[in-house]
A = this chain, B = another copy of it.
Amino acid sequence: MSLDTTSYKGVRDFYPEDQFIQSHITNTWRRVVERFGYAEYHASVLESAELYRAKSGEEIVNEQTYTFTDRGEREVTLRPEMTPTVARMVAAKGRELSFPLRWYSIPNLFRYERPQRGRLREHWQLNVDLFGLEGIEAEIEMITIAHHIMQEFGISEDKFEIRINDRILVKEQMEIAGLSEDEQHTYQKLLDKKDKIDDFADQVRTITDKPISTDFAPSSRITSIITNLNQRSITNVVFSPTLMRGFDYYTGIVFEVFDKHPDNNRSLFGGGRYDKLLDIFDHDPVPAIGFGMGDVTIRDVLETYELLPTYRSTTDLYICLLDKKYTSAADELARELRQSNINVAIDYTGRKIGDQIKKADRDRIPFVICIGEDEIASDIYTIKELSTGKEEKLKGKEISSYIK
């Protein structure tokens, strides 16, 4: 019986060309957040299932997670998001940590849902969190980082907008309308889906007869944040009174980055303040704010705007052999070049020289050297740049600086 070669449903195989794009995305993330002083942390994809029962939206816990029972009768979940994990880690160390904490991670996350464009079962997500800062400097820093990441990917400011709201304002409106805690929860879920449902007003009427305004003024906190961001030349931030974001644990400011592309108008990613999440661990409250940005979404956006980089091998040089008897000479040259930090592969197949060069070209390795009797005798090599066809004759010792 022959085995299937396809991957498990809804997850991806990353061949070198795919991994190249993936590395471009994660390296860009890393570069920007480290520039802002964030330190990387990480954790296992396996978490106790109860971690997600407390504060994520229920829909996520009950229907959309991969949860199973292990051989020790423990209920285990493949993490659907990173925030509960980072909150757990902060609560575990408590006062040993030196606040404020600027932390980031690039975990893989799992959701059990029907695979569709931009919504796979597994994706990778940049998570950026700042713990221990109550003031608006935290909000400003988060939004600035989000904005810088978009710019670092080459997406100009006119192509997206940053929407911002404060859940405290929404709560005020719900309290004016006299909603109970349960009704407030239902209304918030409804508001989060407002743009996806046709009968929003009708559905609100099933909760309450009183009008709930979605046309209120921004708070002074929001106004200050927007003013400050404008001073930093971040001018595409707009107050958006119907913005909610999905997670139950947000307590204040929420924001999202919205793609203005005419064909593909949508929320790309977002985050918010969650000052009370550490309560679930019986930990003293720690002000916290963060956001998450997924690889699948950003890859789609980069594709749409033709901003994906062209594949290039991490190998600098491919050494081809005119005959297998030159193997040890090639090995010796490679050894010297590797010591000078040049990435070198050697073709040991003994096939025709044209096929060896073709292999380098298919792999997008920029330089090729062919080794035969003359090269070994003279220690002079013809190095060819495959993209231009340009050739140069160099001594062995000159090759590494030429490539650099």
In the complex, what distance in Å separates the CA atom of A315 from the CA atom of B100?
14
B363 in contact with A47 (CB, 8 Å): no
A343 in contact with B5 (CB, 8 Å): no
In the complex, what distance in Å separates the CA atom of A348 from the CA atom of B139?
12
A42 in contact with B19 (CB, 8 Å): yes
A3 in contact with B39 (CB, 8 Å): no
- Nearest CB of B to A148, in Å: 8
Cross-interface CB contact of A133 among B22, B231, B314, B349, cutoff 8 Å: B349
A282 in contact with B231 (CB, 8 Å): no
User: Is A404's beta carbon under 8 Å from chain B?
Assistant: no
In the complex, what distance in Å separates the CA atom of A313 from the CA atom of B37?
9
A232 in contact with B8 (CB, 8 Å): no
A39 in contact with B313 (CB, 8 Å): yes
Instruction: Return the chain B residue nearest A31 by Cβ.
Output: B341
- Nearest CB of B to A277, in Å: 11
Interface string of A35-53 (1 = CB under 8 A from B): 1111111111111101100
In the complex, what distance in Å separates the CA atom of A13 from the CA atom of B84?
13
A interface size (C-beta, 8 A):
92
B14 in contact with A344 (CB, 8 Å): no
- Nearest CB of B to A292, in Å: 18
Cross-interface CB contact of A74 among B8, B54, B88, B331, cutoff 8 Å: B8
A14 in contact with B41 (CB, 8 Å): yes
Cross-interface CB contact of A19 among B41, B112, B341, cutoff 8 Å: B41
Q: Which of A65-73, A252-260, A370-378 contacts B (4 or more CB under 8 A)?
A: A65-73
A39 in contact with B89 (CB, 8 Å): no
B41 in contact with A8 (CB, 8 Å): no
Q: Spell out A's residues near B (CB within 8 Å).
A: 2-9, 11-16, 18-19, 22-23, 34-48, 50-51, 54, 66, 68-72, 74, 76, 88-89, 91-93, 98, 100, 102-103, 108, 110, 112, 121-122, 132-133, 135, 137-138, 141, 231-232, 280-283, 313-315, 318, 327-328, 331, 335, 338, 341-349, 359, 362-363, 365
